[in-house]
């Protein structure tokens, strides 16, 4: 899947001739249901566009690529994040992933987030991949062994981005631009059927020096990934009829964050590296005062975000492919995503033991893409623990996301920032 995510950027953004019998509807990739991010992002209820810092944050706002750590003392920096989400603590067959009020009957689910970022002075580049893998029984009414390939059919859905960012002025305004892709694969190995395409994402972060707040904006495009058959491919995968495309709707995210507590005005303080860079570009009169590393910068972080999710046309849920009742005509697939929806997010973080432990809680409201189905409220929580220092400061994070007929528990490894 990692190779497929990289190869996605080479795909042309055009439809092509499809095998006869492919269904004309398009499968809906829901951006507002499952939180796909690092443990920190999940624990804060997904409200991270207005924070935008670290490798764990640039999958929410690409501007994090050029957002230098407050403790950086060199011209360059490197960061990464690796998160294993959806840990198998509960029975996955009882979960309702798409918020239609019906259990999805997935035999197994896995989620992964991986990202890498490189910074040099006021510039940054990076790449990330977010993947969700679901497995379903090939046939209904028979015993299904989730770990046996002959018994299940796999569905892989991922989003990926390759981006760059630059901090302008005195690092107060960061602009980012990237290729954002949506990819879906049905089946495994030689029988796998692939969909995918890319669009351009534009993100912004405003972080005024000497003030205790930030404002962020993320503009993700609608991506339509057409079925890309091989010359020998047909319109079916086993007994299931394939669809013409997958659609990831456009999302506009507006967010803000604020620091509270002693030293909160240092929320956007400059690191030693940033101060040297600003001194070289603007001279002594334009350089900010140097602040000791140990100076407090507010023990509370409050962050909020609002997502505006665009409407789509002629789209049906992923369950239209996995549900054999729909495939055999016993049940009609419902059109989804026909209306523009809003998803609010809120999170709070506390430096419980400064330099050692951070605790987090959050919430968000998940709109349903199904007409007539009400929204679902999620509660989130988590913590981050400093582990040890070798070359850099390492930490592990844990997070949970809980709602009616849904759960997600995950772990992340990264740098303490």
Average pLDDT, whole number, for the chain? 86
Name which residue leads in pLDDT, 225 or 10. Answer: 225
- Pick the range with the lowest mean pLDDT from 67-71, 181-185, 291-295, 381-385: 291-295
What does the pLDDT read at residue 95?
A: 77
Termini Cα distance of the chain: 29
- Pick the range with the lowest mean pLDDT from 134-148, 228-242, 393-407: 134-148
- Return the ∠ at Cα 131 (arms to 130 and 136), rounded to 5°: 160
Cβ–Cβ under 8 Å, residues 270 and 209: yes
Give the span between the Cα atoms of 325 and 315, in whole angstroms. Answer: 18
Closest CA to 380 of 59, 32, 35: 35
Which residues have a Cβ under 8 Å from the Cβ of 192 and sit 6 or more positions away? 185, 186
| β-sheet bridge partners, residue 154 | 135
What does the pLDDT read at residue 16?
A: 56
The 10s digit of each residue's pLDDT in 106-139 is 777 888 888 999 999 999 999 999 888 888 777 6
What does the pLDDT read at residue 242?
A: 92
- Give whichever of 182-196, 204-218, 286-300 has the largest mean pLDDT: 204-218
- Pick the range with the lowest mean pLDDT from 83-92, 116-125, 286-295, 338-347: 83-92
- Pick the range with the lowest mean pLDDT from 3-12, 170-179, 372-381: 3-12
Distance of CA 108 to the CA centre of its chain: 20
Asked if the model's pLDDT at residue 4 lies above 60, the reply is no
Mean pLDDT computed over 56-66: 93
What's the length of the chain?
A: 417
The 10s digit of each residue's pLDDT in 380-413 is 999 999 887 777 788 899 999 999 888 888 888 8
Cα four-point dihedral sign 271, 300, 383, 353: positive
Please provide the DSSP assignment of 113-132 as one string. Answer: EEEEEEEETTEEEEEEEEEE
What does the pLDDT read at residue 10?
A: 43
What does the pLDDT read at residue 147?
A: 55
How does residue 32 score in pLDDT terms, banded at 50, 70 and 90? low
Asked if the model's pLDDT at residue 225 lies above 60, the reply is yes
Domains and CATH numbers, the chain: 2-12+22-274+300-415 (2.40.160.60)
Asked if the model's pLDDT at residue 321 lies above 90, the reply is no
Total-model pTM: 0.89
Mean pLDDT computed over 357-368: 95
């Amino acid at each position: 899947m990692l190779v497929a995510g990289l190869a996605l950027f080479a795909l042309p953004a055009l439809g092509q001739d499809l095998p006869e019998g492919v269904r004309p509807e398009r499968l809906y990739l829901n951006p507002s249901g499952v939180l796909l991010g690092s443990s920190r992002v999940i624990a804060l209820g997904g409200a991270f566009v207005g924070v935008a810092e670290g490798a764990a944050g640039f999958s929410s706002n690409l501007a994090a690529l050029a957002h230098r750590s407050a403790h950086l003392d060199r011209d360059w920096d490197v960061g990464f994040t690796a998160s294993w989400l959806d840990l198998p603590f509960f029975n996955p067959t009882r979960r309702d992933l798409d918020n239609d009020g019906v259990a999805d009957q997935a035999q197994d689910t896995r989620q992964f987030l991986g990202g890498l970022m490189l910074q040099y002075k006021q510039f940054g580049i990076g790449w990330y991949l977010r993947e969700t893998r679901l497995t379903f029984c090939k046939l209904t009414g028979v015993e299904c062994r989730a770990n046996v390939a002959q018994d299940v059919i796999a569905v892989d859905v991922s989003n990926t981005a390759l981006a760059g960012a630059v901090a302008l002025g005195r690092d107060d305004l960061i602009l980012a631009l990237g290729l954002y892709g949506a990819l879906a694969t049905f089946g495994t190995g030689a029988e796998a059927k692939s969909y995918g395409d890319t669009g351009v994402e534009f993100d912004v972060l405003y972080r005024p020096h000497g003030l205790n707040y930030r404002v962020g904006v993320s503009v993700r495009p609608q991506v339509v990934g057409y079925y890309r058959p091989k010359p020998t491919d047909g319109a079916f995968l086993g007994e299931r009829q394939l669809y013409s495309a997958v659609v990831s709707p456009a999302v506009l995210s507006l967010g803000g964050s604020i620091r509270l507590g002693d030293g909160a005005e240092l929320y956007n303080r400059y690191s030693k590296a940033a101060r040297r860079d600003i001194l070289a570009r603007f001279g002594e009169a334009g350089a900010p005062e140097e602040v000791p590393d140990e100076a407090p910068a507010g023990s509370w972080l409050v962050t909020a975000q609002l997502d505006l999710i665009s409407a789509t046309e002629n789209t049906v849920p992923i369950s239209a492919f996995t549900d054999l009742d729909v495939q055999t005509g016993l049940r009609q697939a419902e059109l989804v995503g026909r209306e523009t929806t809003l998803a609010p997010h809120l999170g709070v973080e506390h430096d419980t033991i400064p330099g050692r432990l951070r605790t987090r809680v959050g919430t968000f409201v998940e709109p349903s893409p199904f007409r007539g189905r009400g929204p679902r409220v999620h509660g989130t929580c988590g913590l981050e623990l400093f582990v040890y220092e070798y070359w850099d400061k390492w930490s592990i994070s844990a997070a949970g996301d809980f709602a009616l007929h849904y759960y997600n528990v995950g772990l992340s490894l990264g740098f303490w920032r």
